[in-house]
Amino acid sequence: MSHTAVLLVSGPGDVGPGDRDEMLRRGYAALEEAGADEVDRLDVPPKGTAGEDAEGGLRADVQGMVPALQSGSLFGGRRGLLVVDAQNFLKAEAEAAADLVAGLEGGGAVVCFVSAGPLPAPLAKVVDRLGEKLTVRKIRERDALEWLAGAARARKVSLGAEAVAALMQRFGSDIASLGQALDQLALVEGPITAAEVAARFRNRPDEPMWHYADAVGEGDTATALRRLADFLTHGHPLQLLAFLEGDLRRRALALAAPDLDTFAGWVGSSASQFPVQKAWKARGRTTPELLHRALDALSRADLQLKSMPEATHRLTLERLTVALCLWYGGRGTRRR
């Protein structure tokens, strides 16, 4: 990036911890490259938080943006402002930000917006016109695996296949945490074993639920149960149940649709989208009878989660997971 005054680091709306860390890293790097000799950080709170009726339409957490962009560096250089979660700006805040950045060219300040999802329209128009943009794509496990190989070589850490698998199981696609783990392992002499990884790290990755759904769809019970345990470390059982209900709906629509375009229209997406094509290709693995059984099991699990003690929730979801692996993975189609 050049010495522009307006920067944008954008990523998908469903970013995970590793993606977010990478976006922040890119944001700080972009400000440094743009010549900022000091950087302030401002985190925009989620919509619906207190203070939406603040004076001037700016919530208290956002008001610091005004003096930061109206004054230069105390050291005579450029002052940088990193605005994190810019997708959360309210309409009045986005309009104020647009007015501020429109007058930055040639001034003593530079701003970088970090946005998980699209910017609000008033600000997006100005950034499109004046800014330089960098898109951070969502980090998948295969991306993290490639990154891990290079990072281990750079640190001269010897990792066998089992140790790599253990690290991926512990950290998933969170490359920031993987990097910290490698920094620790670099102090260990000799090749790193899976046992060494298991002994040092107790993490469970905070991964999106589609990893779990993929394992269930493949009928891979062992991986699905591991993914379930990972999710329950960070998430709530009812979140997973709501996700499974949406997943079942897509499977039912794919099975009922006469063609791919019709299915895409029913789910409100494009036929070229990977999730749509993936659901369409998997439709032959199950039957209407098995989907009815899955729906009944989801309903019973929902009742169980809402009426029984919390100590029973994990067992309920484990039993549901095993059943869905059977019904979605193709093995249940042989049952009569």
Read off the CATH number of the domain in which 190 is found. Answer: 1.10.8
* Residue 17 pLDDT: 63
> Do 167 and 58 share a domain, yes or no?
no
In angstroms, rounded to a whole number, what is the distance separating the alpha carbons of residues 302 and 104? 53
- Tell me the average pLDDT across 118-147: 85
- Give the count of beta carbons closer than 10 Å to the beta carbon of residue 313: 19
* Cα–Cα–Cα angle for 222, 226, 232, rounded to 5 degrees: 145
Q: What is the CATH number of the domain that holds 85?
A: 3.40.50.300
What band does 334 get if pLDDT is binned at 50, 70 and 90? Answer: very low
- Tell me the average pLDDT across 232-242: 84
Is residue 95 included in any domain, yes or no?
yes
Average pLDDT, rounded, for the chain: 84
Q: Which of 115, 135, 155 is the last residue of a domain?
A: 135
> Do 115 and 15 share a domain, yes or no?
yes
- Tell me the average pLDDT across 110-121: 91
pTM: 0.49
* Residue 256 pLDDT: 92
**Is the pLDDT confidence value at 257 over 90?**
yes
**Is the pLDDT confidence value at 239 over 60?**
yes
Q: What is the CATH number of the domain that holds 289?
A: 1.20.272.10
Long-range contacts of 67-70, Cβ-Cβ distance < 8 Å, separation of 24 or more: 68/40, 68/42, 68/109, 69/100, 69/101, 69/104, 69/109, 69/111, 70/100, 70/109
- Tell me the average pLDDT across 242-250: 89
Q: Which residue has the higher pLDDT, 38 or 334?
A: 38
Q: In this predicted structure, which of 42-56, 92-106, 138-152, 287-301 has the lowest mean pLDDT?
A: 42-56
* Residue 9 pLDDT: 92
**Is the pLDDT confidence value at 54 over 60?**
no
- Tell me the average pLDDT across 190-217: 80
* Residue 335 pLDDT: 40
> Do 252 and 323 share a domain, yes or no?
yes
- Give the count of beta carbons closer than 10 Å to the beta carbon of residue 42: 19
> Do 25 and 83 share a domain, yes or no?
yes
> Do 181 and 279 share a domain, yes or no?
no
Is residue 205 included in any domain, yes or no?
no
**Is the pLDDT confidence value at 53 over 60?**
no
**CA 272 vs CA 257, 260, 281, 306: distances in Å:** 16, 10, 13, 38
Q: Which residue has the higher pLDDT, 35 or 323?
A: 323
When divided into structural domains, the chain yields a total of 3
42: which residues sit within 8 A by CB, 6+ positions away? Answer: 61, 62, 64, 65, 68, 81, 82, 83, 84
* Residue 301 pLDDT: 93
- Tell me the average pLDDT across 118-136: 89
> Do 235 and 167 share a domain, yes or no?
no
Tens digits of per-residue pLDDT, 68-92? 887 655 445 678 899 999 999 999 9
What residues make up the domain containing 229? 210-334
* Residue 201 pLDDT: 80
Give the percent of the chain with pLDDT over 90.
28
162: which residues sit within 8 A by CB, 6+ positions away? Answer: 193, 194
* Residue 205 pLDDT: 61
* Residue 11 pLDDT: 83
Tokens of 6: 């307006």
In angstroms, rounded to a whole number, what is the distance separating the alpha carbons of residues 19 and 177? 11
Q: In this predicted structure, which of 73-87, 209-223, 248-262 has the lowest mean pLDDT?
A: 73-87
In angstroms, rounded to a whole number, what is the distance separating the alpha carbons of residues 81 and 287? 55
Is residue 283 included in any domain, yes or no?
yes
- Tell me the average pLDDT across 204-233: 82
